Amino acid sequence: MTLKLDFLVFGAHADDAEIGMGGTIAKHAKAGCRIGVCDLTLAEMSSNGTIERRRAEAEEAARALGLASRSNLELPDRGLVSDPAFIQRIVAEIRLHRPRVVFAPYWEDRHPDHTACSRLVQEAVFNAKLRKYMPELPAHTVEETYFYFINDTAEPDVMIDVSSVYASKQASLRAYRSQFETSGADVVRTPLNQGYLERVEARDSLLGQKRSVAYAEGFITKLPYMPVRFQ
């Protein structure tokens, strides 16, 4: 049984979606939207944590956000090259869930996997609407594609006030203890466990200041924004 989704959010690693748009997910899930997150890799190259632990953390984060589904394509971490087979996997995910809106990481980011994910998802959104591409699955046209920020930001085209659900975003991020915790004999220092969560909060707070709200998340679109289709 295929789960029809309103929003489908792609990330290279579990925690990308939460960092960029955990509040927007929580807010819309609370309002009744069916939202899924699809992680492209198991983040098996991460310095801290194991695949099993990260899977459990991703499930915990999914519950904190009220996700309708969470999937993992198990593509190679640090190997998200522009492979037609990878695009096909993403197209299949889009066609199975038939979302109205797709979200991908912003196309500029210091982590190459995030930019690679962005590029692969854009190609897949395009191919998903082509009837003669993978004809065994019905074609699907995604109405809107929005890009969320992970490490790097730009002036957003859209901002969502996430103040009322910020605790849910923080809970989803705290689920990734293997990435953000600083104690433990075998914990390797990475940017994620050196004040990263505080910086995410500061970023969301700073953006909120533009509209006098406590916290906001920003998005970029390559097409002119039509507000009635987003909320």
Residues that bind Zn ion (CB under 5 A): 12-13, 16
* Token pair of 33 as six digits: 């939207």
CB of 180 to Zn ion, least distance (A): 13
CB of 209 to Zn ion, least distance (A): 26
36 beta partners? 8, 69
- 11 vs 208 by CB, closer to Zn ion: 11
Q: Which residue is nearest to Zn ion (CB)?
A: 13
Running DSSP on this structure, what letter comes out for residue 132?
T
CB of 72 to Zn ion, least distance (A): 13
- 17 vs 29 by CB, closer to Zn ion: 17
- 21 vs 96 by CB, closer to Zn ion: 21
Which residues have CB under 8 Å from 178's CB, separation 6+? Answer: 46, 48, 49, 50, 53, 54, 57
What is the strand order of the sheet 158-161 is part of? 69-75, 35-41, 7-11, 101-105, 144-148, 216-220, 158-161
Q: How far apart are CA 221 and CA 149, in angstroms?
A: 12
Instruction: Identify whether the C-beta of residue 175 lies closer than 8 Å to the C-beta of residue 44.
Output: no
- 12 vs 200 by CB, closer to Zn ion: 12
CB of 45 to Zn ion, least distance (A): 11
CB of 136 to Zn ion, least distance (A): 31
- 12 vs 94 by CB, closer to Zn ion: 12
- 24 vs 46 by CB, closer to Zn ion: 46
* Token pair of 63 as six digits: 């519950």
CB of 48 to Zn ion, least distance (A): 13
Q: How far apart are CA 205 and CA 154, in angstroms?
A: 15
